Structure formats: structure tokens, C-alpha cells
Amino acid sequence: AQTVTQSQPEMSVQEAETVTLSCTYDTSESNYYLFWYKQPPSRQMILVIRQEAYKQQNATENRFSVNFQKAAKSFSLKISDSQLGDTAMYFCAFIDRTYKYIFGTGTRLKVLA
Amino acid sequence: NAGVTQTPKFQVLKTGQSMTLQCAQDMNHNSMYWYRQDPGMGLRLIYYSASEGTTDKGEVPNGYNVSRLNKREFSLRLESAAPSQTSVYFCASSVGHRLSMGNQPQHFGDGTRLSIL
């Protein structure tokens, strides 16, 4: 069975600094997709970034980038120039050809002024 | 744009009562999902419907039933509510099959906070 593990329940970072959130996963599939979602206090789930497993190039979306290590089954999220609005829960998620999403348990990120 | 609409937003039930959570999406998505979110547990998939006419169990299906009423609507039913089902429930949808999985980000509703006494 596929699993997604986020080993950092809580993290904090100073405004304007860089922070990296960790995610590891386990699957026997060769083709799959990985996502990072953000859930601010408003409780809405917002897509941050996505990565296709067959693409070696790491995805980037403005201040957000990933470090995708397929052999190690690792998918970390780097947030550069952290802003107060980045304070949220961050979830790593996985989907394969069955269209069944698996989410990690989340990392609560607090950006400090 | 409405997106994914869940009703109700809040509900309190007594143990043993039944309840149906409603979800509708207006994005012509094929796939729909029900999750529960509990502190420290992340989002756990209850049931999903990859396409109209199909439903499949997720990680935690016990105590729940679902109905994919049509392409737009996917309801979640608690037949006999238990305190362990106190949670925040999210419905989500995505484009679904016949397309690249890369086009599969999920669109979420605002959640239903359900308390069972």
C-alpha cells in the first residue's frame, strides 16, 4: 500500500528566511504524481505545487520549489523568502493510476515576524 | 465560481442518529472524494468515485456509505453516528480519468464540522 510520511509535525521560520519541509513516500508504482497542498487557518485546501514522477526536473512555482529524489522516494518543499501569509498546515500528497489520493499527516508551519 | 459546495457547514448529532453530507461541484469533474480530517492524522480518504457510476473504498470506509447521484453530486451518509466520527469532513473533486494525471489537483470544499455527542 502507498504511504506518505511527513516527519516534522511543526516548524517555524523567520520572515524572509528559507525553510524546507520534508516528505517521503512509499510505492511500487513507476508512474505517479506528487503534490503539496497548503491549508491556512481558513481551512481551505490550496494547491501549492505538483511534480510528475517521470520528470527529473524539479518543479518551481514562484517562491516554492521541490527537491524530488525518486530513488530515495523523497519530495521536499522549499519556501524561499517566507512571508507571514505562508503560515499554514502543509500536506504532501500522492496519486497514482488508481486516482486514489494519499495524504501525509501534515506539517504546521509558522512564519515569525 | 462556486467550485465545490458542501452542506451543511456545521452539524451536531447524537450517537445513533443518521445524517447525509451533501457535496456538489460545478466544474464538470469526473472524480469526487470524501475525506475526514482529525488532529495529527492529516486527511484520510473515506470513499472516492473515480467516475460517475463507480465508487471505491478509501483508507477509512467503515461506518460510512456514499452515493454518486450524478456527475455533479457525491453524498456521504452516516447510518448510525458514533463519537469516533466526530471530525471535519472535506469533499473534493478533480478532472479525473482519460486525462493526464498531472491535471489532477483536487479542488476542495470548505469542509463540514461534525460533532457527535
- pLDDT higher than 60, residue A73: yes
Cβ of A45 within 8 Å of Cβ of B48? The answer is: no
Amino acid B2: pLDDT:
74
Cβ of B31 within 8 Å of Cβ of A100? The answer is: no
Q: Which residues of B fall within a CB distance of 8 Å from A47? A: 105-106
- The percent of residues in chain A predicted with pLDDT above 90, rounded, is 73
Average pLDDT over every residue of A22-46: 90
> In A15-106, where do the E strands start and end?
19-21, 24-26, 33-39, 46-52, 60-61, 64-69, 74-79, 88-95, 101-103
Amino acid A67: pLDDT:
96
Of B31, B45, B105, the CB nearest to A50: B105
Average pLDDT over every residue of A74-100: 92
Q: Which residues of A fall within a CB distance of 8 Å from B95? A: none
Amino acid A8: pLDDT:
95
Average pLDDT over every residue of A16-35: 93
Average pLDDT over every residue of A2-14: 94
- pLDDT higher than 60, residue A34: yes
Question: What gap in Å lies between CA B68 and CA B76, rounded to an integer?
Answer: 9
Band of the pLDDT at B97, cuts 50, 70, 90? low
Cα angle A36, A37, A43 (rounded to 5 degrees) comes to: 165
> Which pairing describes strands A60-61 and B56-57: parallel, antiparallel, or unpaired?
unpaired
Average pLDDT over every residue of A83-89: 96
Identify the bridge partners of residue A45 per DSSP, sorted by sequence position.
none
Q: Which residues of A fall within a CB distance of 8 Å from B33? A: 101
Band of the pLDDT at B80, cuts 50, 70, 90? very high
Band of the pLDDT at A93, cuts 50, 70, 90? very high
Amino acid B100: pLDDT:
60
Amino acid A98: pLDDT:
74
Band of the pLDDT at A18, cuts 50, 70, 90? very high
Of B94, B96, B111, the CB nearest to A43: B111
Band of the pLDDT at B50, cuts 50, 70, 90? confident
Residue A57, number of CB atoms within 10 A of its CB: 8
Band of the pLDDT at B56, cuts 50, 70, 90? very high
Nearest CA-CA partner of B29 in B10, B2, B57, B56: B2
Cβ of B42 within 8 Å of Cβ of A103? The answer is: yes
Q: How close, in Å, is residue A69 to chain B by CA atoms?
A: 18
